[in-house]
Amino acid sequence: MSSLQSLRGMVDLLPEVTGLWQHVEATARLHFQRAAVQEIRTPLLEVTELFARGIGEATDVVGKEMYTFLDRGERSCTLRPEGTASVVRAAIQHGLLSQGPQRLWYGGPMFRYERPQAGRQRQFHQIGLELLGFADPRSDVEAIAIAWDLLADLGVGGLALEINTLGSPDDRLRYRGELVAWLEAHREQLDPDSQARIHANPLRVLDSKVPATQALLAGAPTLADALSGESHERFARVRLGLEALGIPFELNPRLVRGLDYYSHTAFEITSSQLGAQATVCGGGRYDGLVQQLGGSPTPAIGWALGLERLVLLLSQAEQQPVAPPALDLYVASRGEAGEAAALPLARRCRAAGLAVELDASGAAFGKQLRRADRSGARFAAVIGDMEAGEGVALLKDLRGDAAEQRLGVDGLIAVVGARRAGEGPAA
Predicted local distance difference test score (pLDDT) of residue 276: 57
**What are 100-126's pLDDT values in tens digits?**
999 999 999 999 998 888 778 999 999
Choose from 172-176, 216-220, 236-240 the range with maximum mean pLDDT. Answer: 236-240
Task: Provide the mean pLDDT of the chain.
Answer: 90
Following CA atoms 388, 390, 391, 392 in sequence, which dihedral angle do they give, to the nearest 10 degrees?
-90
Same fold for the pair 15-168+228-318 and 329-421:
no
Fold of 329-421: Rossmann fold (3.40.50)
Band (426; pLDDT cuts 50, 70, 90): very low
Residue-level pLDDT at 332: 97
What is the pLDDT averaged over residues 16-26? 92
Cα gap 165→254, rounded to integer Å: 10
Residues 8-13: contacts with CB under 8 Å, at least 24 apart: 8/116, 8/122, 9/113, 9/114, 9/116, 9/121, 9/122, 9/123, 10/121, 10/122, 10/123, 11/121, 11/123, 11/308
For the whole model, what pTM was predicted? Answer: 0.85
Distance CA 262, CA 292 (A): 12
pLDDT at 200 over 90: no
Q: What pLDDT digit, counting tens, does each position of 282-302 carry?
A: 999 999 899 999 999 999 999
CATH 3.30.930.10, domain 15-168+228-318, yes or no: yes
Q: What is the domain partition of the chain in residue ranges?
A: 15-168+228-318, 329-421
Per-residue pLDDT tens over the stretch 141-153: 999 999 999 999 9
d(CA 17, CA 311): 9
**What was the pLDDT predicted at 297?**
93
Mean pLDDT is lowest, of 161-175, 276-290, 316-330, 377-391, for 316-330
pLDDT of 392? 96
DSSP, res 321? P
Judge whether residue 321 has pLDDT over 60.
no
